[in-house]
């Protein structure tokens, strides 16, 4: 097995933390290279959720009995952990949502409907996931906002030549911190500053950033930051919208009902204070507990070490795949590992990515093929689909090598 010298993570031990990686598929080991899609879950997260359901299950903020207090403490404790993990100044700035998609919809629909009018400009980038495009399209249909696009430049980076002109007069600049297709890391602080200089708010889709790179939302200076629990070792069904207290106070509730009110009469309602104003109905309690455990797990590894591991493994992957397949493989995105995350979109000769990843499956290699919910970007790249391998804390050089062997097998099978 390939051993990486001086890997800041003990990957062999980490693999043992993830029970699913012991599973066999098609008679071989599971090689999971699709963490940009969803990450696997460590036993500690599963145990925390199990413990919640077997020991403390009750509704929150309502009961006067012991287990209800434990459930509430679980939910609010998870909020505090997340707040600390992302550098939030206050726990109440952390809103639990269903996922990143709901968080971004909250921004576009609740803040956007209250503050945007016909003709107002919203600036996006060509790297965006559909979750940061479609809600704005909807708002464009509803109130007639104008969408502007920061274009893709060379080597997978944005072309910021005309940034000042693009943001001039805009009300919102909303962008991903890391591309889910190319791995490109965006200059978040520069974009945030440009937005504020132009009088716009800055919204960051950090879905691919928070799981992989130490994140400090206060240092970013953004107004809103959205991310999702299931890509960071946490469960599905929970995401986060962080916002400054000022902007959250200035945003009307999105989904309404129980939990989010202070008072309801026949005449109307008074919204609860932050963060509950945005958390209508019974929240995803077990999922919050699981996310809290995921944050503990990642903190235990250390986000600096996680990042170092991924930069070095991405470097290995870029190098070894290029050496082995030369011109046949085309890997999109920044060529410099330090400028990107461990997300590699590629095509091989004229093999369709679907056919490629179908052969991968026979090798137990899990890689996504398709447009990765980024059709605007795919059009700019001039491809309909790519295969996308993405790395995380439990991947090592042997996983990359297993995929490379699968590529060779596919090339032989299809005779290319």
Partner 1 sequence: MPGLEDLYREIILDHYRSPRNRGELPAPPATRVEGFNPLCGDEIVVFVEVADGAVSDIRIGGQGCSISQSSASMMSAAVKGRTLDEVQALTRSFKAMMSIHEQSLDGEGEVVIEADPDVKLGDLEALRGVVKFPVRIKCATLSWNTLLQAIEESAASR
Query: Which part of the chain contacts partner 1 (CB under 8 A), choosing from 46-54, 307-315, 329-337, 363-371?
Result: 363-371
Active-site position among 11, 172, 373, 410? 373
Interface size with ligand PLP, residues (CB under 6 A): 14
Residue 367 is a binding residue for partner 1 (CB under 8 A):
no
Residue 103 Cβ vs ligand PLP, minimum distance, rounded to whole Å = 8
* Binding positions for ligand PLP, 141-200, rule CB under 6 A: 176, 180
Nearer Cβ to ligand PLP, position 125 or 395? 125
Reported for 382-386, long-range contacts at CB under 8 A and 24+ positions apart, including other chains, are 383/347, 385/352, 385/353, 385/354, 386/181, 386/332, 386/345, 386/346, 386/347, 386/353
Residue 19 Cβ vs ligand PLP, minimum distance, rounded to whole Å = 22
Give the helix ranges, DSSP H, for 159-215. Answer: 163-167, 188-197
Residue 37 is a binding residue for partner 1 (CB under 8 A):
no
Residue 413 is a binding residue for partner 1 (CB under 8 A):
yes
- Token couple for 287: 């999922």
Site string for partner 1, 314-353 (x = CB under 8 A): --------------------------------------xx
Q: Is the four-CA dihedral 101, 336, 3, 300 of positive or negative sign?
A: negative
For 236, counting Cβ atoms within 10 Å of its Cβ (0-12 exposed, 13-18 middle, 19+ buried), the class is middle
Site string for partner 1, 7-26 (x = CB under 8 A): -------------------x
Residues 348 and 410 sit within 8 Å (Cβ to Cβ): yes
Backbone phi and psi for residue 202, each to the nearest 5 degrees, phi listed first:
-110, 125
Query: Which part of the chain contacts partner 1 (CB under 8 A), choosing from 147-155, 198-206, 281-289, 362-370?
Result: 362-370
Query: Which part of the chain contacts ligand PLP (CB under 6 A), choosing from 3-11, 80-88, 201-209, 247-255?
Result: 201-209
- Per the annotation, the verdict on 373 as an active-site residue is yes
Tell the residue number behind the tokens 């599963």, with chain if given: 46
Reported for 401-405, long-range contacts at CB under 8 A and 24+ positions apart, including other chains, are 401/2, 401/320, 402/31, 402/363, 402/364, 402/365, 403/31, 403/33, 403/360, 403/363, 403/365, 403/367, 404/320, 404/321, 404/324, 404/325, 405/363
Residue 30 is a binding residue for partner 1 (CB under 8 A):
no
Nearer Cβ to partner 1, position 36 or 170? 36
For partner 1, which residue of 100, 139, 369, 411 counts as binding (CB under 8 A)?
369
Distance, in Å, from the CA atom of 414 to the CA atom of 42, rounded to the nearest integer, reads: 37
Query: Which part of the chain contacts ligand PLP (CB under 6 A), choosing from 94-102, 134-142, 311-319, 392-400?
Result: 94-102
Residue 409 Cβ vs partner 1, minimum distance, rounded to whole Å = 9
Nearer Cβ to partner 1, position 149 or 414? 414
Distance, in Å, from the CA atom of 46 to the CA atom of 33, rounded to the nearest integer, reads: 21
In sequence order, what are the beta bridge partners of 67?
Answer: none
For ligand PLP, which residue of 208, 244, 345, 386 counts as binding (CB under 6 A)?
208
- Token couple for 203: 């919204």
Tell the residue number behind the tokens 């609010």, with chain if given: 76
Binds 72: which of ligand PLP, partner 1, none (CB < 5-8 Å by kind): none
For partner 1, which residue of 46, 51, 169, 414 counts as binding (CB under 8 A)?
414
Residues 11 and 393 sit within 8 Å (Cβ to Cβ): yes
Binds 26: which of partner 1, ligand PLP, none (CB < 5-8 Å by kind): partner 1
For ligand PLP, which residue of 228, 251, 272, 395 counts as binding (CB under 6 A)?
228
- Token couple for 357: 């990843």
For ligand PLP, which residue of 100, 288, 387, 403 counts as binding (CB under 6 A)?
100
Which DSSP helix (H) or strand (E) runs through 137? helix 134-143
Which DSSP helix (H) or strand (E) runs through 150? strand 146-150
Distance, in Å, from the CA atom of 306 to the CA atom of 208, rounded to the nearest integer, reads: 13
- Token couple for 302: 């250390």
Binds 131: which of partner 1, ligand PLP, none (CB < 5-8 Å by kind): ligand PLP
Binds 335: which of ligand PLP, partner 1, none (CB < 5-8 Å by kind): none
The residue ranges that bind partner 1 (CB under 8 A) are 26-27, 352-355, 358-359, 362, 369-371, 375, 378, 384-385, 413-414
The residue ranges that bind ligand PLP (CB under 6 A) are 99-101, 129, 131, 176, 180, 205, 207-208, 228, 230, 239, 373
Which residues form the catalytic set? 373
């Amino acid at each position: 097995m390939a051993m990486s010298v001086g890997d800041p993570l003990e990957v062999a031990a980490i693999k043992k933390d993830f029970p699913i990686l012991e599973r066999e598929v098609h008679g071989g080991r599971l090689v999971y290279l699709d963490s940009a899609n969803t990450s696997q879950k460590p036993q500690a997260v599963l145990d925390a959720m199990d413990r919640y359901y077997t020991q403390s299950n009750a509704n929150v903020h309502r009961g006067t009995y012991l287990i209800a207090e434990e459930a509430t403490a679980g939910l609010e404790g998870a909020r505090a952990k997340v707040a600390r993990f992302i550098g939030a100044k206050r726990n109440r700035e952390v809103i639990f949502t269903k996922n990143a998609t709901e968080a971004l919809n909250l921004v576009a629909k609740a803040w956007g409907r209250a503050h945007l009018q016909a003709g107002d400009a919203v600036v996006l980038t060509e790297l965006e996931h559909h979750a940061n495009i479609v809600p704005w399209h909807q708002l464009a249909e509803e109130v007639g906002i104008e969408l502007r696009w920061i274009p893709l430049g060379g080597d997978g980076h944005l072309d910021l030549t005309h940034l000042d002109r693009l943001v001039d007069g805009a009300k919102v600049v909303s962008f991903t911190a890391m591309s889910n297709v190319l791995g490109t890391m965006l200059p978040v602080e520069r974009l945030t500053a440009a937005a504020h200089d132009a009088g716009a708010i800055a919204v960051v889709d950090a879905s691919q950033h928070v799981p992989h790179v130490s994140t400090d939302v206060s240092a970013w200076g953004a107004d809103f930051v959205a991310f999702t629990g299931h890509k960071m070792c946490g469960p599905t069904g929970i995401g986060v919208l962080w916002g400054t207290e000022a902007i959250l106070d200035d945003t009307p509730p999105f989904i309404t009902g129980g939990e989010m009110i202070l008072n309801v009469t026949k005449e109307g309602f008074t919204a609860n204070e932050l963060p509950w104003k945005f958390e209508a109905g019974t929240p995803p309690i077990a999922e919050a507990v699981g996310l809290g455990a995921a944050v503990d797990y990642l903190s235990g590894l250390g986000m600096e070490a996680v990042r170092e591991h991924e930069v070095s493994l991405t470097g290995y992957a870029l190098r070894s795949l290029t050496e082995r397949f030369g011109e046949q493989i085309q890997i999109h995105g920044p060529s410099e590992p330090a400028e990107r995350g461990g997300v590699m979109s590629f095509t091989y000769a004229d093999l369709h990515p679907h056919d490629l990843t179908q052969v991968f499956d026979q090798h137990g290699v899990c890689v996504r093929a398709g447009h990765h919910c980024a059709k605007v970007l795919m059009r700019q790249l001039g491809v309909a689909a790519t295969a996308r391998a993405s790395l995380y804390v439990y991947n090592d050089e042997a996983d990359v090598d297993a995929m490379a062997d699968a590529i060779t097998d596919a090339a032989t099978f299809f005779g290319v």
